[in-house]
Copies of this chain bind each other. A is one copy, B any other.
C-alpha cells in the first residue's frame, strides 16, 4: 500500500482567487485576500445563496486571473460542507465545463488538488480549477444550532471561516508546482465532542504527515512551511505532541491556517475552521509568499472531521482524515 505519489510533470498553480467575509477581513491575512466582503450575505437572501455566490466568484475570478474565460477550463473540482455539497453544485452551474464533486469535509481542498493534479499531470485534462468554500452561518445552523438561539460557545470550539479560494492547475505558466501528494487515511480516536474538531482531526494529521515523511524519505527540515488546514490552537498542540511521540518535531516549520486566519482573540477561541479555511489562506497569503520566492517548499495538509448531525445523533464518534500535497517553486 502506498498513499504517496509523485507528479512527473509537476502541475503548476498559475492563478488563484480568494474571498472572505467581514470578520475575516479584519484578520491577519486580510491584506492578501482578493475579494473582501462587507456583508456576509453578499447581497443574497440566504446565507447558503451567499456561500454559493462566494464560491462561484472565486472560481470565475480564478479563471479570469489566469487570462482565461468561461469555457476555457476542462473541469472544476469543488467541495463544501453543506449537505450534498450543494454550494459547489450551484457555484459551478452555468460554467461551461465538467464538474467533479469531492468531499472529505475540511480536507476537501487538498483532495481536489491531489485529484486535479493527477488529471493535469497525466495529461488527461489541460486545465482544471480546484476550489472550496465555507460560511460561518450556513455551517453553524446546519451542524449545530439555529443562529437565532445565540448559543454560548465552549472554549474548545472553532469559528467556521466565511471564505473560500480556488486555484487553476495546468502544465504551462508560472507559479508553485505540485510535486507530490499523500492521500489521507481515516483515523478515529473516538472523539465524540462535536465542538472539539481539533482533537478529532489531529490524529489523522499526525498519520498523514508521518506517512508522508516515511514515503518520501523527507524530514520536516525539507519544507519551509508545514501548513495544516484548521486544527486550531488545541489541535495544533495535540498534533505536535503526537508527532513528537513518533520522533518528529515540526515546531519550527508548522503553522495552522485556522490559527492564522483571525487575529486570535477570545471570541473565536481555537481559531478558524471550515472547508474554506485552508483554501482561503493558501490562495491568498501562502500563494503570494511563494510567487515572491519568500518561501519555496510547502507541505499543505488539509484536515477534515468526518461527521454529520445524524452520525452524531446515532452515537458515532468523529473520525478525521487529512490529505497532504507538497508545493515547490
Residues in B whose Cβ lies below 8 Å from that of A152 = none
Within 8 A of B (CB), among A71-85: 71-75, 79, 81-85
CB contact under 8 A between A118 and B111, given known A1-B71, A1-B96, A48-B314? no
CB contact under 8 A between A86 and B307, given known A93-B188, A93-B319, A115-B100? yes
| Pick from B74, B89, B124: contact of A319, CB under 8 Å | B89
Asked if A96 and B185 make an inter-chain contact with CB atoms under 8 angstroms apart, the answer reads yes
Asked if B90 and A2 make an inter-chain contact with CB atoms under 8 angstroms apart, the answer reads no
Q: Is A186 an interface residue (CB 8 A)?
A: yes
| Pick from B1, B46, B124: contact of A97, CB under 8 Å | B1
CB contact under 8 A between A103 and B118, given known A3-B97, A5-B124, A124-B5? no
Within 8 A of B (CB), among A104-128: 104-105, 108, 111, 114-115, 118-119, 121-122, 124-126
Residues in B whose Cβ lies below 8 Å from that of A82 = 308, 310
| Pick from B81, B83, B101: contact of A310, CB under 8 Å | B83
**CA–CA, A262 and B308, complex, Å:** 31
Q: Is A102 an interface residue (CB 8 A)?
A: yes
Q: A97 — nearest CB in chain B belongs to which residue?
A: B1
CB distance from A55 to the nearest CB of B (A): 13
Asked if A101 and B104 make an inter-chain contact with CB atoms under 8 angstroms apart, the answer reads yes
| Pick from B71, B81, B124: contact of A118, CB under 8 Å | B124
Residues in B whose Cβ lies below 8 Å from that of A306 = 84, 86, 89
Q: Is A292 an interface residue (CB 8 A)?
A: no
Provide the A117-160 mask, 1 if CB < 8 A to any CB of B, else 0.
01101101110000000000000001000000000000000000
Q: Is A49 an interface residue (CB 8 A)?
A: yes
Q: Is A184 an interface residue (CB 8 A)?
A: yes
Give the number of residues in A that approach B within 8 Å (Cβ atoms): 63
CB distance from A314 to the nearest CB of B (A): 6
Within 8 A of B (CB), among A180-195: 183-186, 188
**CA–CA, A188 and B82, complex, Å:** 20
Q: Is A269 an interface residue (CB 8 A)?
A: no
CB distance from A304 to the nearest CB of B (A): 9
CB distance from A83 to the nearest CB of B (A): 4
Asked if A183 and B84 make an inter-chain contact with CB atoms under 8 angstroms apart, the answer reads no
Q: Ordered nearest first, which 7 A-B pairs have the shortest CB separation?
A: A98-B183, A122-B122, A84-B308, A5-B124, A83-B83, A101-B103, A89-B306
